Chains A and B, each alone.
Chain A
Amino acid sequence: MRYLNEIVNKKINEVLKGDQDAFEEIVTLFQHRLYHLCYRMLGNAQEAEDIAQEAFVRAYMNIHSFDQKRKFSTWIYRIATNLCIDRIRKKKPDYYLDAEVPGTEGLDMYSQLAAAGELPEDEVVKMETQERIQYEINRLPDKYRSVIILRYIEELPLQEIADVLEMPLGTVKTRVHRGREALRKQIGTM
């Protein structure tokens, strides 16, 4: 791991000297990990590609503010999770859930949401594993989604999650606990 850090820092110094090509090697090194993180956060290939690329662009533009004593992966993960959280918030509908859906009688947003967000049990059982994993992640409240992904998909230590999300370790632990409870309830009430 230290070896990887050395390579990355060497490349970063070249980028700082104005060599844009050196950045290409950094992107190549981290592309799959970052894309995967965004894919799990957003549950959508097109958006994942867009946001992961945007994260690299932001990293390039702010490369001078990166502290080389820290891990580059933590830093780029932070940029990417923040962008994903922003994207998820923007996608949130800004209409009221109990407003009647236009053109329907007595059909409100709750019924729409139920139809889109939660599937009947027999359909869930038929899902293949990868699809099922994404389905459970998507159902998690935003607050717990990033910690659960970082902990159980990316398998980061709790302290590193605290660094990525810039939260105290205690807050991360609480969110992981509540996230596990939320998952238990989701799967239990299926």
Chain B
Amino acid sequence: MNQLLENTLTIDGQVVPFSAGQTIMDAALAAGIYIPHLCHKPELKPHGSCKLCTVDVDGRSMSACTFPASQGMQVANNTPALTEVRKTLVQMLFVEGNHLCPTCDKTGDCTLQALGYHLGMLDGHFPPFYPRREVDASHPDLILDRDRCIMCGLCVRASQQIDGKNVFALSGRGAQNHVIVNSPSGKLGDSDLNKDDLAAHICPVGAILPKNHGHEVPIGRRTFDLHTVAESDIATFNLHKTEHHDD
């Protein structure tokens, strides 16, 4: 304790500096510490919904991406108990939607899948929901497959905060939550989404994918075949990707 400097907190016993206004996640990323997350991207306003970044702060459960860092805070992150919690949350996300990795073009590039491996998930564990969700193939360059959506709201925020548009919104309640398109017909083809928008690329799963570009990178050479999801710059790396890193 006595070695704590001003504006520092500890994560799993490691002293980490922070500056005013930073969240626990900001401080951790800056220090190269990985806190698992799905709905967070450093350049967007935090959402705090996926709860993968759940940490225990002085014994209380907090979302690292939204909770402000403060002096002397003791954060438990990489513990067996939290790994178990996060694995359960990933399993819950899998059974809630319709995730068929072998047929999904996102396999190997999918953060949900990568987190499953990272957390030692071996099965979906819970009874699957098999929801009926609409596919929207109306856009010339992009496809919206809601079966794979995890309600992280990254496309909603990217469109509003980076692209200066308002293409997506989360709708419905409870288990009926779903992403909708802000256009007169509710169809993606009717919206002003452009294939170069960040919202078109930011999906951590395979819910928004480019058309006409299937399986260009062979399995075995995809993002998470070459990197682990725990590499702290992976979020930034994915965020700026407009074409595949192999190209």
A binds B: no
Residues of B at the A interface (CB closer than 8 Å) are: none
